[in-house]
Every structure is written in C-alpha cells, then in structure tokens.
Amino acid sequence: MQDVTDLPFWRLMTRYGGADLYYTEYFRVTPSSGLDKPILASITQNPTDRPVIAQMIGNDIVALVRTAKELGYHPIAAIDLNLGCPAPVVYRKCAGGGLLRDLPRIDKILGALRDAIPGKFTVKTRLGFDTEKTLEALLPLFAKHSIDLVTVHGRTVLQMYTGGIRYDLIQMASKSLSCPVLGNGNVSTPADAETLLRETGARGLMIGRGAVRNPWLFSQIREHLAGNAITYPTGREVLAYIHELYETVCDPSIPDPKGVQKIKKYANFIGEGISPEFLHAVRRVGSKEAFFALCKEHLDHGNAMLLEPELI
C-alpha cells in the first residue's frame, strides 16, 4: 500500500507473524522514471525472510519493459502490474485502474512485458473500471499472455473501497484461469479469510488495510484455518503496537502538527477496529501528546480486542 506498507512497516509486521509473501508499494513508471530508491530498498534490504513481488504502475510500454528489466537484477519473486489503483490522479492518466477502460492497450502491455520478463509475471486487477462485466473479457487476456498469478480485488475502480466484494467473480477468475488466483478485499478477520477462500476457490489472500488495523491477523488466520483457537491481543497490546508503529514510521524531527500526521494515517485504519468514538477523535488530534493520551484512554485495558471494523 502506497506510503503505508514500506520497508520499516514490513519489519514491524514480521515481528507479529507476518505474511507469506509481500508486494512492494508500486514503482511509478514513466518515460523518464528510475527505480524509486526507498521502494527498491524494500527489495534489496528485505527484512521479512519471505519472497517479495515488485509492483509497477504505468502505461508506457517502453518504460514498463525497461523498468521490468531493471527490476530483474534484484532479488524478487515476480514482477506485478497494477491494474487496480482507483486514485483519480492515476486513473485519469490511464494507469492503474484507468487501464481497465482500454483492453487493447492492456493486451499490448501484457504481451510486451511477458516477452521481457523471463521469470514470474503477475497482475493485480479490479473487476473493471465502471462495470464488473469487464472481468469476463480480461481473463482471456491473462490466459493468452500466460500470467503466472492474478490477484483480484472484487470491486470496480469507481467503487473505490465501498460496496461488497464480488466473491462470485473472484470465483469465476479462479475457475477460468489455470494460474493461481489470490482474492482481495475486506479481509478483516480470520472468519472473513475463511469465507473468501471457501466461496471463491482462491488459492490465497491479499490483505491490505486489515494488516495495518490488526498485525496479528496473519497469525490469527493461520490459527483459524488450522482449526485452533484464535489468539486475540489485549487493549494494552494494541497500545504497544501503536507505540511501536510510531517509533517505526514517524520522524521525531518533524514538529507537530505535521509530525503526527503520519501516524494518523495508520490510526485511521486501526481506529476502525477500536470504536467510532476513537476514530472520530483521532482524526482531530494535533499533537503526539494528544494522540497518545487518546490511545491510552481507549486502550489501557486487559480485555481482548477483535479489531473488527464497524465502519467498512
């Protein structure tokens, strides 16, 4: 996740169990782009002990091919193309999710990248731009270009992050493609993970916001799928996570109120799992002191926390 799941964040995740596989933030690819150094560091200094997939976003074929070749010199498990980013600044330039309006162009990009990438080439997609019907036309393109793994976020681009996840369409992708499919969208609890896997036949899950909200989620899913009891953190353990997160992602030399902005970005996700009152208040704090006073007020207790979002 752009500006969220960076190298320091990955390091923190691994202390909580962590994922089986990590995707980098996307490398923005334009005719004049080079490899973004902080994102490249998450590959060259990968602290996770797990494979890393490098993600690219862009639409210029020459630049994408050049970037894929540059990435090929680094220790990556695959190169991924982003066909899902819903940010208007991205899709208006016909990149990310914007490409889903232009399947002939996707066809050309996939063909050129397939020829240029000797290793694994993967794709992350939404169902379509403004209609989920696009997926049906997209899947044969993935098959034609022998994509090695496809992640499907079960929403259209225009849905952004609202609306239910179309398990039926992720299932359609799983059934029709011979490569593994990962299901993505709204996995916030071990039960969500189990449901998504069961209903879609997906081979695995991609988890975004849920990992920030609940770094124990990966371990909890493993426990649940193995038929074991789920271990939930206490309020104080969640508080300790937020302190660690602050130490990890914030630069203490940046004065407030700007200094506290970065942790508020993460707290927006975490707050969805705490309470609507916390979420409302955290969006308004202007200093580190006020932020931690609020966290203490809501989390200084020994009760188990499910960290399930009420609001999404």
Give the catalytic positions in this structure: 85
Q: Are 178 and 152 in contact (CB under 8 A)?
A: no
Using rule CB under 6 A, residue 28 touches ligand FMN: no
Q: Which residues contact 292 (CB under 8 A, 6 or more apart)?
A: 243, 246
Nearer to ligand FMN, 153 or 166 (CB): 153
Residue 157 identity (one-letter amino acid): V
Cα dihedral: 45, 46, 51, 56 (round 10) = -80
Contact letters (x/-) for ligand FMN, 60-89, by CB under 6 A? ----------------------x-x-----
Q: Among residues 58, 208, 271, 309, which is the contact residue for ligand FMN, using CB under 6 A?
A: 208
Q: Tokens standing for 306? A: 């499910």
Residue 103 CB, nearest approach to ligand FMN (Å) = 19
Applying CB under 6 A, which of residues 186, 189, 214, 248 lies at the interface with ligand FMN?
186
Dihedral sign from CA coordinates of 175, 171, 59, 23 = negative
Nearer to ligand FMN by Cβ, of 56 and 305: the residue is: 56
Using the rule CB under 6 A, give the single segment among 37-45, 205-213, 239-247, 282-290 that binds ligand FMN: 205-213
- Is 239 near ligand FMN (CB under 6 A)? no
* Number of residues near ligand FMN (by CB under 6 A): 18
CB 117 within 8 A of CB 188: no
- The verdict on 166 binding ligand FMN (CB under 6 A) reads no
Are the C-beta atoms of residues 271 and 311 closer than 8 Å to each other?
A: no
Both tokens assigned to 151: 């992640």
Q: How far apart are CA 2 and CA 55, in angstroms?
A: 11
Q: Which residues bind ligand FMN (CB under 6 A)?
A: 1-2, 4, 25-26, 55, 82, 84, 124, 153, 184-187, 207-210
